[in-house]
Amino acid sequence: MKRLYKFPLILSVIFLISSCSTAINDYQDSHPTFDIKSYFNGDVIAWGIVQDYTNKVTRRFCVEINGKWQGNTGVLAETFYFNDGEISYRNWQLTKQLDGTYAGTAEDVDGIAIGKHNGFAFQFNYTLNLMLDNDTYKVSMDDWMYQLDQHRVMNKTSMKKFGLEVANITLFFDKELPVKQCR
């Protein structure tokens, strides 16, 4: 009988812990201030891993990014090279809004991505149409970028389906290196 009383308590604690999250305003006073228009202007290279829900690394990749901006409108052309030989492409169309947020679309994004920045952090939320084994799944992406210095950015993305985390993606961007190609 004691176990029955403990179960709701344990569930409540798990719910409270899992409902806590970071807000973009938590980084208001952090430096350097991350301006994605200036950072993602020109060529940038990044390396990343995909981890499943058990934290096992399931894929590794390199991505070449070419950003071009005209005023508040930009295009980020991304080419992904995966360790299994797959090559994929994504072209972000980004617009900085009057309130300072960013709206974005891409070929494999469902609807409009919304980006917010504060201090050294940038958060990007969107729904990705993920192709796996000839099927398409809609997954929620909670993408966080943190500018470490003028040349380097760390990225951590949580991928969720039905509110449950199914994968994490971690990337390291570097625009200081003279080589801006994966191959």
- CA gap 124, 101 in Å, rounded: 10
Tokens of 125: 């939320």
- HSE, CB side, 13 Å, CA atoms: give it for residue 37: 15
pLDDT per residue as tens digits for the range 72-92? 999 999 999 999 999 999 999
- Work out the percent of the chain whose per-residue pLDDT is above 90: 71
Q: Does the pTM of the predicted model rise above 0.85?
A: no
Select from 2.60.40.1180, 3.30.450.40, 2.60.40.10, 2.40.128.20 the CATH code of 30-174.
Answer: 2.40.128.20
pLDDT per residue as tens digits for the range 104-123? 999 999 999 999 998 999 99
Distance, C-alpha 95 to centroid of its chain? 17
